[in-house]
């Protein structure tokens, strides 16, 4: 097994730009603090400038044709080795992820292993049939299609899943023959460095993967403005996603956006209430609520609302909130002071609007910890109901019927994920058709994805270009139709 530690760039001196197979520093740097203890620095990172982005595009454009010409089985071998190496470094990667954004250690480890599973899935997909043949009206002509890579892809990734989300973009982008310029979120820079190390050690050629750490706003023009850009994939906030799409709208750039969510769950009177409460709490509170698929609104039939509320309160009371490095911890801190302040603003609004606190607190301390909090009595037009909070805050709403719940659940600009808890099969099948979301769960929490199925939403949650599975293959390739006439 390769000793990756011997070739690791030092996070102490800011050599975190990986361009054309070489680690570089920059004149400007930034530090990251551990969300579990803000006095502890977790690394010094290079703040890339426009010149570094240009160099990354130069490297990607130069390396991509040769990589595209590499047989698919060889590209598959690289991704499979990357999965092995990532599993070999699972403890270091888990620690790095927790240090970056405070994710509880058990969740962080599961995410790293999920990244390895994604790499393995894509490596297998590269060996599946490629292209199709069609009958032709001309007996001397053979009609077929071939898949080809797009060219140079820009991947901009968030901090909340610093291994899984980059992997489900980078693995198919690289696997299907593209070269990548990758800009991770500042808070995820340490995890990005480790993942880039793994991919390089697995055999990704120089220039095929280029990592530029730094401040997103300062780099956005350079990232989107390069004429060699063929495709842009982004996960993050709606505002940034819309701005990125507009920046490339006048060019033939393929765009994939995964944006926000305000995900509802419906609990009917015939549901297994203890199970539903446990699933809702998992969906709302794990990862400290920092998931685009997190459960944030629950519509429960009035006849069982009091019982369900008590079960939710009891279940949350059993969560271990605290040190994310402790294996027993369920809920760690928020990822940063900025994220804590954003959630605190919603809690302040809850106090102003006089909502009822079922459990938790509207008060936020000096650290990045926020208590898992459940609210009720929230107005339908409140920002608490309409906007993505991205923290451990859940709103319970009593409804008179299933029809009322469906109407309320669909009354949002978002449409990423939704859930229904019931034992009525007819209701479950109706919900699958009636809910306005790209991901539907029946008797499951709203969060959670598997690597071989499409992921994405409708309305303001997505650009309608799905990720993962066959959808990932479709996005990162283009189809060429061939008319082959034989003599």
* Residues labelled catalytic: 258, 292
Walk across the sheet containing 141-149 and list its strands: 133-134, 141-149, 477-485
Chain centroid to CA 224: how far? Answer: 20
Interacting residues of 107 by C-beta distance below 8 A, sequence separation 6+ = 286, 287
Q: Which of 380, 453, 379 is nearest to 410 (CA)?
A: 380
Report the alpha-carbon distance of residue 467 to residue 451 in Å, rounded: 9
Decide: 328 and 320 in contact? Cβ < 8 Å.
Answer: yes
Strand partners, 181: 154, 210
Taking the CB of residue 416, how many other CB atoms lie within 10 A of it? 28
Q: How far is CA 67 from CA 70, 179, 180, in A?
A: 5, 8, 11
Local structure of residue 80 (DSSP, 8 states): H
Cβ atoms of 133 and 140 within 8 Å: the answer is no
Going by the DSSP 8-state scheme, the letter that residue 463 receives in this structure is -
Residues 6+ apart with CB under 8 A from 383: 346, 349
The candidate with the shortest Cα–Cα distance to 446, out of 300, 282, 235, is: 282
Q: Measured between alpha carbons, how far is 226 from 181 in angstroms, rounded to an integer?
A: 11
Distances in Å between the Cα of 296 and the Cα atoms of 10, 208, 286, 292 are 39, 39, 12, 10
Say which DSSP state 5 is in.
G
- Measured over the CA atoms of residue 328, residue 331, residue 336 and residue 340, the dihedral's sign is negative
Show the tokens assigned to 332.
């760690």
CA–CA distance, 110 with 207 (Å, rounded to integer): 30
214 Cβ contact partners less than 8 Å away, ≥ 6 residues apart = 26, 30, 45, 46, 47, 48, 49, 52, 183, 186
132 three-class SS: coil
């Amino acid at each position: 097994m390769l000793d990756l530690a011997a070739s690791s760039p030092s996070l102490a001196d800011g050599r975190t730009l990986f361009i054309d197979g070489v680690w570089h520093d920059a004149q400007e740097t930034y530090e990251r603090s551990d969300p579990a203890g803000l006095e502890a620095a977790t690394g010094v990172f290079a703040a890339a400038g426009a010149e570094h982005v240009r160099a990354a595009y130069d490297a990607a454009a130069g390396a991509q044709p040769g990589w595209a010409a590499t047989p698919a089985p060889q590209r598959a071998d690289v991704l499979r080795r990357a999965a092995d190496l990532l599993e070999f470094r699972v403890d270091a990667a888990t620690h790095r992820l927790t240090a970056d954004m405070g994710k509880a250690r058990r969740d962080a480890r599961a995410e790293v292993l999920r990244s390895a599973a994604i790499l393995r899935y894509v490596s297998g997909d590269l060996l599946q049939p490629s292209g199709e043949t069609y009958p032709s009206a001309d007996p001397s002509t053979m009609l077929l299609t071939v898949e080809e890579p797009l060219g140079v892809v820009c991947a901009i990734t968030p901090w909340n899943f610093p291994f899984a989300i980059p992997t489900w973009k980078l693995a198919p982008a690289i696997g299907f023959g593209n070269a990548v310029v990758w800009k991770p979120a500042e808070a995820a820079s340490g995890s990005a460095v480790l993942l880039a190390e793994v991919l390089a050690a697995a055999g990704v050629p120089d220039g095929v993967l280029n990592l530029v750490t730094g401040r997103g706003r300062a780099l956005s023009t350079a990232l989107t403005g390069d004429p060699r850009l063929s495709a842009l994939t982004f996960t993050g906030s709606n505002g940034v996603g819309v701005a990125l799409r507009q920046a490339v709208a006048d060019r033939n750039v393929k765009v994939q956006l995964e944006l926000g969510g305000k995900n509802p769950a419906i609990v009917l009177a015939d549901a297994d209430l203890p199970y539903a409460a446990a699933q809702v709490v998992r969906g709302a509170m794990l990862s400290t609520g920092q998931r685009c698929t997190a459960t944030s609104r629950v519509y429960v039939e009035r006849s069982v609302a009091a019982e369900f509320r008590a079960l939710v309160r009891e279940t949350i009371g059993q969560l271990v909130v605290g040190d994310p490095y402790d294996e027993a911890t369920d809920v760690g801190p928020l990822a940063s002071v900025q994220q804590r302040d954003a959630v605190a603003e919603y809690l302040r609004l809850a106090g102003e609007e006089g909502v009822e606190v079922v459990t938790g607190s509207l008060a936020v301390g000096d650290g990045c910890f926020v208590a898992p909090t459940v609210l009720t009595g929230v107005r339908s037009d409140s920002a608490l109901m309409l906007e993505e909070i991205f923290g451990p805050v859940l709103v319970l709403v009593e409804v008179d019927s299933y029809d009322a719940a469906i109407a309320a659940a669909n009354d949002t600009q978002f449409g990423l994920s939704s859930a229904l808890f019931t034992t009525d099969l007819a209701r479950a099948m109706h919900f699958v058709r009636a809910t306005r979301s790209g991901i539907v769960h029946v008797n499951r929490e709203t969060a959670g994805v598997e690597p071989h199925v499409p992921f994405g939403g409708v309305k303001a949650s997505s650009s309608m270009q799905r990720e993962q599975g066959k959808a990932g293959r479709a996005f990162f390739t283009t189809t060429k139709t061939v008319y082959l006439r034989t003599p």
